[in-house]
Structure 1
Amino acid sequence: MSKIFISCALPYANGPCHLGHLRSTYLPADIYARYNRMIGNDVLMVCASDEHGTPIAVKADNENIKPIEVSKRYHDMIADDIKSMNISLDNFTRTTDERHYDIAQNFFLDLYNKGYIYKKDITQLFCENCNKFLPDRYVEGICPVCGSEARGDHCEKCGRVLDPTELEDPKCLTCGSTPVIKDSYQYFFKLSEFQDVVENYIDNNINLPPNVRNYAKNWLKEGLNDWVLTRDMDWGIPVPLDEALGKVIYVWGEAFLGYISSASQWSDETGIKWEDYWNDYVVHFIGKDIIYHHSIFWPALLSAYGCKMPDNIYAGEFLSLEGQKMSTSKNWVVWISDFVDQFDPDLLRFYLTINAPLNKDTDFSWKDFQRRNNDGLADVIGNFLHRTFTFTHKFFDGKIPEYKGPSDEDMEFEKLIRELPDKVGEFITDYEFRDGLLEIFRVCKLGNKYFNDQEPWKAVKENPQKAANTLYLSNQLAKTLAIVLKPYIPTKADAIAEIINIDIPEKWDEAIVPLPAGHEINKAKPLFKKIDDDVIDAQIAKLNETLKITEEKEDENMSDIITIDDFDKVEIKIGQIKEAEKIEKSDKLLKLQVDIGDEVRQIVAGLAKFYDPEELIDRKVAVVVNLKPAKLFGTLSEGMILATGESGALLTPDECEIGERIQ
């Protein structure tokens, strides 16, 4: 018997769960955990809500409440979502628990005392209006790589990881003002020292799936840089050093430890050591958007601490919706709570598993969901079970008939039934969950063919033993289905077991133990119903309506639509650049002296990547002159030069007079 430590990626507590969360993480983890428990392995499956970080703090600021109120609200929603989908976690806790704080701070101190964490002077964006340094998510601006709107930590369009000081035209997310750059300090983890360790882990760990290995190797090619491990904010786990007032551990520096703190809490409640599971076999189930965190940062942190690294990291690919990327902001999403209000959760578990392999992106379509349910669950599995149970009651008083003198067809079908559990188990062991479910369907389809070919409704009169053998074997497959379907659709599997009149199966090897002749089964009940067109049409209409409402609200609130009166407030004059020089320590900014007719203004412009200072002398430019002065890299800027964002091309009104206003 093996001990297996299974973790699900921590759901971020700033919203409830949608179908994408379930498909990539919780469902595959649950299938794997349920199967391993059934074959006798000792499984510990844990998770926690991830409650720190700037998005929660920003949401709390917007709602004028405390961050803990936001995280508590969504923790409860997430817990309900996970429970509603029958995810068999052994423990689900929170990263705001005292136990997690203790573990995270002790972990930080251990690495600090070993010399793997060090203090470093840096420059950071500072909002003078809010009087605070701005962590990454508190800043928005323009990506310096692709020119798209970006957050302070990364650009969603090009995927570039960013430092807030790299953003062009940065704005404080709280007040909208332009921040300045100030000297500060943070604590860094010596990630660069673990390049060889992580490379060895990636190259030699035979368990890692290709998508995780390839993603990590691409990151490693560029070489690992030291990683900032702290932030300036109130919301989070305080850095446990007297000198570090007002600093918290970066959420990705402590969220991983939610696996450990959840397991530790479970140990307190059960008296069983969680370490025994970790030291045997560890597998993390995550989404592909956090592969590099788990395959690079986490192994390096564990190595520094002196702890075993995970044996496997299984990353589910993305789920789109009706051919489009899911968007919670546009309400282009199906929430788990909404789904279970209308449908049995096992239908979703089934569809998300059979729709595509976990290592490929796939799409949720309401019409395809209906088709898979009606043509698969109802017509294949449901039809086979219903006929088996109905004819057993009709011809044999609901009792398993005797099996005698089997034909070649009987023995061939019997062999399929005996082999099914091992084949499905092998697929699940190899994390090929869809293939295991497809194998079940393959045998069920053959079961329907066998039933049709044997024609027990005729044979019961012409050849009673043939009918008896048919119903005997069909009931054996029904029992096998009650067991092999348990990891996938546990509620429906239990319902099958109830009709067969056996205890709820907990052991996988029970699948090959035949029901004895004379065993009495219960009357058939409808297990898998077809979904009508109007039900699905209503879901599609609801989805499109919520998107329409959201887009209409966005149109009403579009900040880029202004009136002529708004435009009149912007004063743009023609200026001429008289002096230009680079700003020390900046590779983007130039300090310009610009004649605007009645005075000379000093303006800081992000043109250094596009022009040498000498090229700009005497160039005429368009200048916004009534912009609030701001400091960039400690240099006063009293206006804005108009230029394109991507190429840096200046608007050059050569035929205009200096000081002339653009109307």
Structure 2
Amino acid sequence: MSKIFISCALPYANGPCHLGHIRSTYLPADIYARYNRMVGNDVLMVCATDEHGTPIAVKADKENKKPIEISKRYHDMIVRDVESMNISLDNFTRTTDKAHYDLAQNFFKKLYDDGYIYREDIQQLYCPNCNKFLPDRYVEGLCPVCGSEARGDHCEKCGKALDPTELDEPHCITCGTTPIIKDTFQYAFKLSELEDDLKEYISSNENLPANVKNYATNWLKEGLNDWILTRDMDWGIPVPLDEAKGKVLYVWIEAFLGYISSASQWSKKSGKKWEEYWNDFVVHFIGKDIIYHHSIFWPGLLKAYGCKLPDMIYAGEFLSLEGEKMSTSKNWVIWIADFVKDFDPDLLRYYLTINAPLNKDSDFSWDDFQRRNNDELADVIGNFLHRTFTFTRKYFDKKIPEYANPSADDEEFKKAIEELPAKAGEYISNFEFREALLEIFKVAKKGNKYFNDAEPWKAVKEDMQKAANCLYLSNQLAKTLAFTLKPFLPTKADAIAKILNIDDLSDWSQANVFLPSGYEINKAKPLFKKIEDETIEAEKAKLQENLKENSEDENMSDLISIDQFDEVVIKIGQIKEAEKIEKSDKLLKLQVDIGEEKTRQIVAGLAKFYSPEELVDRKVCVVANLQPAKLFGTLSEGMILATGESGALLSPDENAEIGERIQ
């Protein structure tokens, strides 16, 4: 018996679970865990909600709540979603638990004391209005690569990973002020020193799947840089050093440790040592977007600490929706809570597993979901089971008949049943979950054909032994299906077992142990129902309605009250001087008269649309009560109103007086 430590990537507590979360991480982990428990391995499967970081802090600011209130709300939703999909976790905790804080701080302190973490002086964006340094998600601006709107850490449009200081036209998302660059310090991890160790780990680890190994190898070829481990913000685990007041641990050092703190919590409850599982075999189930973190950064941290490295990192590829990328911001997504209101979760578990290998991108389509349910679950597996149970009760008094004088077809079918558990089990052991389910489906399909060819409805009148052999073997396959489907469709497997009077599906070795003749079964009911066209059309309509509602919400979110608008002071101004700003192809420095004792200096992004000479003496509309800010090192004391794409100035009537307020 082996001990296996299974972890699921920590869901981030700023939203509930959708189909993509389940497909890439939690479902494959559950299939693997359930199977290994059935074959007698001692499994510990853990997870936690990742509750720190800037997105939660930003959401809390927007909702005028405390970050812990936001994370608690979504923790509860995520637990509900995971439980509704029958994910059999042994422990699910939170990274806001005190035990996790203690673990993370002790981990950081040891690496610091051992010389793997050092203080580094850096430059960082700082908001002079909010009086704080701005972590990546607190800054938005234009991507320096493609020019699209981007966050401080990432451009959605071109996929470029960014540093906030690289953004063009950056602004603080809290107040809109243009940040300045200011000297500060953070703590960095000597990842570069572990490059050779990590190359050896990746190249020699035969367990790693191709997508993980290839990604990691390519990154290692580029060379590793040291990694900043801390942030300037209030929400998070404080850095355990006296000189580091106001700094917290970066989420990607402490979130990993959620695997350990969750396991440690389980140990306290169970009395078992989680370390025994870790030291035997460790499997991380993750999404492909965090391969770098789990194949490079996490093993680097563990190596520095002196821990055993993960044996297996299995990364699920992306799931699209109706051929398009899922987007929570556009509400182009199916939430788990919505799905389970209308459908059995086992139907989703089946579809997400059989639709594509986990190491390939996949798509969820309502039409294809209906087709697979109706053609495969209902027409093949469901039809086979229902006919088997119904004929057994009707023609053999609810009892499994005698098996005698088998034909060649009988023996061939019997062999397929006996071999199924080993074949499916080998696939699961090798993390080939789709192939295992396809093998199960193939034998179920063979069972349907065998049943049709045997024609027991005729044989009961002409050759009772032929009918008896057919129903004997069909019931044996039903039992084998109950066991082999248990990791994939646990609720449906239990329903099959109940009809067969089987109380326990926990032992995989019993999957091909045949039921004796004379064994009595219970009354059957249809286990898989067909999904009607009207139901699917309604679901597709919901998706479109979600898009529409999201668009309307975005429009409504742009509305402000008259009181808010009244706070903006817009005055008539006249440009007196204009000149280019050195090293900028976008910005001009303007001196603008707005009726005050001296002119205002304003930096405006007009250089691509106007020459300095064209602007002198032009009347313009000026936002006069903005917080002063520096752009390209030049003080700006207001904003000139112009259109976004063409840069056209909003010009007042010639009769408008300089300094007059627009109302």
**TM-score, with structure 1 as normaliser:** 0.90
Letter in 1 for 2:412: E
The equivalent residue for 1:658 is none
Moved more, 525-534 or 626-635: 626-635
1:208 & 1:51 partners in 2: Cα distance? 29
Preserved contact between residue 178 and residue 631 of structure 2 (Cα < 8 Å): no
2:553 & 2:412 partners in 1: Cα distance? 63
Aligned-residue offset at 1:266: 0.5
Deviations 1:14-33 (A, max 9, x none): 11111111111000000000
The equivalent residue for 1:397 is 397
Aligned-residue offset at 1:344: 1.0
Task: Quickly say closer, same or farther: Cα 1:56–1:593, change in 2 above 3 A.
Answer: closer
The equivalent residue for 2:235 is 235
Aligned-residue offset at 1:250: 0.6
1:630 aligns with 2:656: no
The equivalent residue for 1:655 is none
Task: Quickly say closer, same or farther: Cα 1:142–1:581, change in 2 above 3 A.
Answer: closer
The equivalent residue for 1:107 is 107
Letter in 1 for 2:328: T
Preserved contact between residue 593 and residue 600 of structure 1 (Cα < 8 Å): no
Task: Quickly say closer, same or farther: Cα 1:416–1:62, change in 2 above 3 A.
Answer: same
Unaligned runs of 5+ in 2: 561-565, 650-657, 659-663
The equivalent residue for 1:433 is 433
**Map 1:27-46 → 2, pairs under 5 A:** 27-46=27-46
1:458 & 1:57 partners in 2: Cα distance? 70
The equivalent residue for 1:472 is 472
2:178 & 2:580 partners in 1: Cα distance? 24
The equivalent residue for 2:654 is none
Letter in 1 for 2:157: K
1:547 aligns with 2:560: no
**Map 1:468-617 → 2, pairs under 5 A:** 468-558=468-558, 569=570, 581=582
Deviations 1:70-96 (A, max 9, x none): 111111111111111110000000001
RMSD (Å) for aligned C-alpha atoms: 3.3
Preserved contact between residue 568 and residue 623 of structure 2 (Cα < 8 Å): no
SS in 2 for 1:124: strand
1:581 & 1:343 partners in 2: Cα distance? 62
Preserved contact between residue 188 and residue 226 of structure 1 (Cα < 8 Å): yes
Preserved contact between residue 625 and residue 638 of structure 1 (Cα < 8 Å): no
Preserved contact between residue 623 and residue 641 of structure 2 (Cα < 8 Å): no
Preserved contact between residue 569 and residue 623 of structure 2 (Cα < 8 Å): no
Preserved contact between residue 39 and residue 509 of structure 2 (Cα < 8 Å): yes
Preserved contact between residue 48 and residue 94 of structure 1 (Cα < 8 Å): yes
The equivalent residue for 2:661 is none
Letter in 2 for 1:636: L
Aligned-residue offset at 1:292: 1.0
2:567 & 2:341 partners in 1: Cα distance? 47
Aligned-residue offset at 1:255: 0.2
SS in 2 for 1:215: helix
1:572 & 1:289 partners in 2: Cα distance? 50
Task: Quickly say closer, same or farther: Cα 1:606–1:195, change in 2 above 3 A.
Answer: farther
Moved more, 295-304 or 573-582: 573-582
Preserved contact between residue 4 and residue 278 of structure 1 (Cα < 8 Å): yes
1:167 aligns with 2:167: yes
SS in 2 for 1:153: coil
Moved more, 171-180 or 420-429: 171-180
1:7 & 1:392 partners in 2: Cα distance? 43
SS in 2 for 1:512: coil
Preserved contact between residue 589 and residue 604 of structure 1 (Cα < 8 Å): no
Preserved contact between residue 570 and residue 621 of structure 2 (Cα < 8 Å): no
1:26 & 1:468 partners in 2: Cα distance? 42
The equivalent residue for 1:59 is 59
Task: Quickly say closer, same or farther: Cα 1:633–1:252, change in 2 above 3 A.
Answer: farther
2:286 & 2:182 partners in 1: Cα distance? 37
Task: Quickly say closer, same or farther: Cα 1:299–1:604, change in 2 above 3 A.
Answer: farther
The equivalent residue for 1:22 is 22
Preserved contact between residue 570 and residue 622 of structure 2 (Cα < 8 Å): no
Aligned-residue offset at 1:580: 5.5
Identity of aligned residues (%): 73
Task: Quickly say closer, same or farther: Cα 1:546–1:409, change in 2 above 3 A.
Answer: same
Task: Quickly say closer, same or farther: Cα 1:281–1:641, change in 2 above 3 A.
Answer: farther
SS in 2 for 1:118: strand
Letter in 2 for 1:521: I
User: Runs (4+) of structure 1 moved beyond 4 Å?
Assistant: 556-560, 565-582, 588-608, 616-628, 632-635, 638-646, 649-652
Aligned-residue offset at 1:305: 0.8
Unaligned runs of 5+ in 1: 583-587, 611-615, 653-660
Preserved contact between residue 6 and residue 285 of structure 2 (Cα < 8 Å): yes
Letter in 2 for 1:323: G
1:552 & 1:635 partners in 2: Cα distance? 39
SS in 2 for 1:43: strand
Deviations 1:46-83 (A, max 9, x none): 00001101111111111111111111111111111111
Moved more, 265-274 or 533-542: 533-542
**TM-score, with structure 2 as normaliser:** 0.90
The equivalent residue for 1:368 is 368
The equivalent residue for 1:10 is 10
Task: Quickly say closer, same or farther: Cα 1:338–1:506, change in 2 above 3 A.
Answer: same
Task: Quickly say closer, same or farther: Cα 1:461–1:570, change in 2 above 3 A.
Answer: farther
Aligned-residue offset at 1:160: 1.7
1:391 & 1:229 partners in 2: Cα distance? 66
2:414 & 2:557 partners in 1: Cα distance? 66
Preserved contact between residue 101 and residue 237 of structure 1 (Cα < 8 Å): yes
Deviations 1:139-162 (A, max 9, x none): 111111211111111112222221
Deviations 1:337-386 (A, max 9, x none): 11111111111111111111111111111121111111111000000001
1:100 & 1:231 partners in 2: Cα distance? 18
Moved more, 250-259 or 216-225: 216-225
2:632 & 2:241 partners in 1: Cα distance? 29
Letter in 1 for 2:255: A
1:185 aligns with 2:185: yes
Aligned-residue offset at 1:216: 2.1
Deviations 1:459-508 (A, max 9, x none): 12221111111111111100000000000000100110110111221011
2:98 & 2:5 partners in 1: Cα distance? 22
Letter in 1 for 2:8: C
Deviations 1:283-330 (A, max 9, x none): 111111111111111111111111111111111111111222212222
SS in 2 for 1:243: helix
1:386 & 1:308 partners in 2: Cα distance? 50
Moved more, 210-219 or 437-446: 210-219
Task: Quickly say closer, same or farther: Cα 1:541–1:128, change in 2 above 3 A.
Answer: same
Task: Quickly say closer, same or farther: Cα 1:480–1:580, change in 2 above 3 A.
Answer: closer
Task: Quickly say closer, same or farther: Cα 1:461–1:225, change in 2 above 3 A.
Answer: same
Task: Quickly say closer, same or farther: Cα 1:580–1:77, change in 2 above 3 A.
Answer: closer
Preserved contact between residue 381 and residue 444 of structure 1 (Cα < 8 Å): yes
The equivalent residue for 2:337 is 337
